Amino acid sequence: MAKSKSGANVIKPAGQFIAWAVLIIITMLTAYIMISNMQNKPAVLFGRSIVKAVSGSMEPSIHSGDYIMIEKTDSSELKAGDIICFYSHDSAIYGMLNTHRIVRILDDGSFVTKGDANSAEDPSTVTSDTIVGKYTGKVRFLRWLNSFASAKKLILAAVVIVMSATAVYEVITIAKVSAECRANRKNNDDAVREAIEKEKQKLYEQGYEPENTDDKKE
């Protein structure tokens, strides 16, 4: 019973530490994604890019504020109908990330794009060297998180979480050391008692009987 209780006491702090670690990682990754998009850069995770849609030009397929997954794709594999993310050459948003659908491919290999919600095609064609990749889906968790948290708030939250996790880890470490010290003291006490009992048993087997102090007084 004691061993089972001790095991549970060890598992509980370990589980708390893992939970804190996961929370820290999620918070820091989310902050990284948001900051990257604020700087007009795709956030690259596990070989894929995450980009935030900043306009409604692709509605209803992609809504403003959606975080989308972009997979690096060879331009020769792209076809009409694919949604791609690229650095725009349009004068109004030159150099900005843009995500539109390919409507046709020209003989020189460049792409004519258009937003699903737009009535006209984009004025500038897209060349392969400006393409980030092909749209593969949405990251819905990030949109939900972004609905109530700004990048600055997430950075602050990450700092607070890291500091809190450090404090929790220190408390767990101190508690563990204290428990080990108590266990060592108990083991030492048990060893002393066991040695005394063995010595008593040895003396008893040798026929030694302790003197009766009450008889001496009489």
Nearest to 67 by CA among 43, 94, 102, 93: 43
Specify the residue for token string 């006490």.
Answer: 189
Q: What is the DSSP letter of 40?
A: T
Using one digit for the tens of pLDDT, what is the confidence trace for 7-62? 555 556 666 677 777 777 777 787 788 778 778 888 888 888 999 898 999 999 99
The domain ranges of the chain are 11-41+151-207, 42-149
> Measured between alpha carbons, how far is 21 from 165 in angstroms, rounded to an integer?
8
Q: 0.75 exceeded by the pTM?
A: no
Give, in order, the Cα–Cα distances in Å from 44 to each of 49, 74, 120, 176, 206. 4, 17, 31, 39, 81
Q: Mention every residue, 6+ apart, whose C-beta is less than 8 A from residue 66.
A: 52, 53, 138, 143
State residue 38's pLDDT score. Answer: 79
Give, in order, the Cα–Cα distances in Å from 54 to each of 57, 58, 86. 9, 10, 14
Mean pLDDT of all residues in 182-208: 71
Q: CA quadruple 137, 142, 147, 151: dihedral positive or negative?
A: negative
Q: Is the domain 42-149 a CATH 2.10.109.10 member?
A: yes
Specify the residue for token string 């007084």.
Answer: 217
Band of pLDDT at residue 194, cut at 50, 70 and 90: confident
Structure tokens at 106: 């020209």
* 13 cis-preceded (ω within 30 degrees of 0): no
Nearest to 72 by CA among 140, 124, 136: 136
Give, in order, the Cα–Cα distances in Å from 14 to each of 9, 18, 158, 169. 9, 6, 21, 10
H or E segment and range at residue 131: strand 131-138
Better-scored residue on pLDDT, 166 or 60: 60
